[in-house]
Amino acid sequence: MAESVTEQPVLNATLNETAGNGTGKIPATPEGMAVAYTSLFIMAVFPIFIGSLRSVKYHKEQKESGEKPETMSSKDAAMFPIIASCTLFGIYLVFQIFSKEYINLLLTFYFFVLGVLALAHIGGPFVTKLLPASFPNMDYHLIFTQGKAEKKEEIMNYEFDRKDLSCLLVCTAIGVWYLVKKHWIANNLFGLAFAVNGVELLSLNRISTGCILLGGLFVYDIFWVFGTNVMVTVAKSFEAPIKLVFPQDILEKGLAANNFAMLGLGDIVIPGIFIALLLRFDVSLKKDSKVYFYAGFAAYCLGLLTTIFVMHFFKHAQPALLYLVPACLGVPILVALIRGEIKELFGYEDHSEKDENDPKSEEQKVDKKDK
């Protein structure tokens, strides 16, 4: 849901947040809202674009290694909105029973650890390039096992070097900044890292599974935003980097601004993993064309802009998936119908049994081992 922090709503399942003590807030100006909405739009599309490209590389590495990543089945997709609803309502009850301060204290430390690891995974290559050639690098190998002899079982096998440790230290410093100040920039760095990792690593195996998932969450989002106050209450109470925020009063107060417009990460990651699947389908066609990815990406942009417009016009938080789901599903399917590739689109499957049993694939694996 989307919403803003004064009386103006912002994007799907995101909402009016009372930052700080809620005092001294400057009402959002048209210019301030334009800057906030534009910034949120850019921050929303960036993880989808980057995460989709990274997902292609990730799945290619999985195939080459012979590993099969965990993917969501049609049954999982159908159950997901129900599980999400139970989780959302459970969190709502917890906030009604227990002190919000103590709950958010636990959440802060939990997301501190997750955020540092997610940011390190994304930022590793960049930090490595910034380090000088004279950097005294050294490799390390961490192995953790249980049992002895025949019963010995490997639990963890991790290789890293000093450059990785340097990246982890930088990310930890950002985490401490978030832990102490809860600054909106630190929140966004964690949120963007979560979103990129989510689009890259979470897998839908088939287009039909994506349709089931998005269709179920379409109903879920509408019900919990328009039918009850549960989602709005949880989003206002939940202090964690599970949303992207941008101040609408940044032109007046600079980095100390506290009148935030917000967008939930679910409105980025859920459509994002479907768009990433479209890109992998484009790659599988081997036509040097990314028509389905660009169609899905453009549809997401259009749906997000529609959400912002409707929310701003009606001055009420909007379930973004109400607009994103029809766009992200409808446009690629329409493109497939026009191109006569609807059977190929719905027949595509990541890591299918056919691919695994393909003699050429087996020969490639053998050649790679020999090398």
Average pLDDT of the chain? 83
Q: How do residues 101-121 score in pLDDT, each as one tens digit?
A: 888 888 888 899 999 999 999
Q: Lowest-confidence range among 29-43, 210-224, 231-245? A: 231-245
Residue 173 has pLDDT above 90, yes or no: yes
Asked if residue 363 has pLDDT above 80, the reply is: no
Q: Is the pLDDT of residue 43 over 60?
A: yes
Determine which one of 76, 139, 161, 221 is catalytic: 221
164 is catalytic: no
Catalytic annotation on 221?
Answer: yes
Candidate list 164, 249, 267, 350, residue with the active-site label: 267
Give the residue-averaged pLDDT of 345-365: 62
As a whole number of angstroms, the distance between CA 252 and CA 261 comes to 15
Report pLDDT for 1: 53
Asked if the model's pLDDT at residue 42 lies above 50, the reply is yes
What local confidence, expressed as pLDDT, does residue 26 receive? 58
Per-residue pLDDT, 155 = 81
The band of 336, judged by pLDDT with boundaries at 50, 70 and 90, is very high
Per-residue pLDDT, averaged over 307-314, amounts to: 85
User: What is the tens place of the pLDDT at every residue in 6-18?
Assistant: 333 334 344 333 3
* Model confidence at 74: pLDDT above 70: yes
How confident is the model over 125-153, as a mean pLDDT?
A: 83
Which of 194-203, 259-268, 278-287, 354-363 comes out lowest in average pLDDT?
354-363
pLDDT at residue 359 above 80? Answer: no
Residue 361 binned pLDDT confidence (cut-offs 50, 70, 90) = very low
Say if residue 49's pLDDT is above 80: yes
Q: Taking 70 as the threshold, does the pLDDT of residue 352 lie above it?
A: no
